[in-house]
Amino acid sequence: MAHARISAKLPPEIDPTKAPVAFGMKALPKLHEELQSPELLTQQRALMALCDLVHDPEKVYQAIQIGFLANLVLLLAHEDSTVRQKTTEVLNTMAMHSIGRQGLIKNGVISALTDLLDDPVDICRRNTHQIFETMAKLPEGRVLDT
């Protein structure tokens, strides 16, 4: 007679670094809530899921309307390098869209990014420079309110 065995390993198609994301209109509000979590792993998972979602300009618009940029500015100063890296990656992807560039300018993200120019982590500095380069190539990115 066969016995059921339960393995301690996750199936190969399950990535433990990805957060389960709700569908439709519930996805971004749930991620917004998870970004404010005190747990580091929850924040990291939410940022990784957000990295995937912000490739869609509609999701970028929705994220700006929800208020993600204020949270992302706070996460730029996080002590964990993975959080800073993924935050700059999200902002870099958002800067590729017109609505994202406008949001970055209006919400003061550019001035917050200047602190990361001397970040000890190479990828954070590289993402920050890419954001500045993307913003500088376009007319709306050249005029920064000081």
- Write the pLDDT tens digit of every residue in 77-110: 999 999 999 999 999 999 999 899 999 989 989 8
Share of the chain above pLDDT 70, in %: 79
Domain count, the chain: 1
Residue 34 structural domain = 26-141
Structure confidence at residue 74 as a pLDDT band (50, 70, 90): very high
For residue 18, being part of any structural domain is answered with no
Which of 82, 96, 108 minimizes the C-alpha distance to 133?
96
CATH of residue 36's domain is 1.25.10.10
Which of 132, 138, 126, 145 minimizes the C-alpha distance to 99?
138
Do residues 80 and 116 lie in contact, with contact meaning Cβ atoms separated by under 8 Å?
no
For residue 15, being part of any structural domain is answered with no
For residue 98, being part of any structural domain is answered with yes
Residue whose tokens read 């958002």? 94
For residue 104, being part of any structural domain is answered with yes
Structure tokens at 2: 């066969």
For residue 86, being part of any structural domain is answered with yes
Q: H or E segment at 140?
A: helix 139-142
Do residues 28 and 59 lie in contact, with contact meaning Cβ atoms separated by under 8 Å?
yes
> How high is the pLDDT of residue 140?
62
For residue 16, being part of any structural domain is answered with no
For residue 146, being part of any structural domain is answered with no
For residue 8, being part of any structural domain is answered with no
pLDDT greater than 90 at residue 1? no
pLDDT greater than 50 at residue 48? yes
> How high is the pLDDT of residue 5?
63
Structure tokens at 100: 């994202």
At 118-130, the pLDDT tens digits run 999 999 999 999 9
> How high is the pLDDT of residue 9?
62
pLDDT greater than 60 at residue 11? no
pLDDT greater than 50 at residue 38? yes
Q: Cα–Cα distance between 11 and 1 in angstroms, integer?
A: 25
Structure confidence at residue 146 as a pLDDT band (50, 70, 90): very low
With vertex at residue 32, the alpha carbon angle to CA 68 and CA 38, rounded to the nearest 5 degrees, is 110
Q: H or E segment at 2?
A: none
Structure tokens at 20: 């389960």
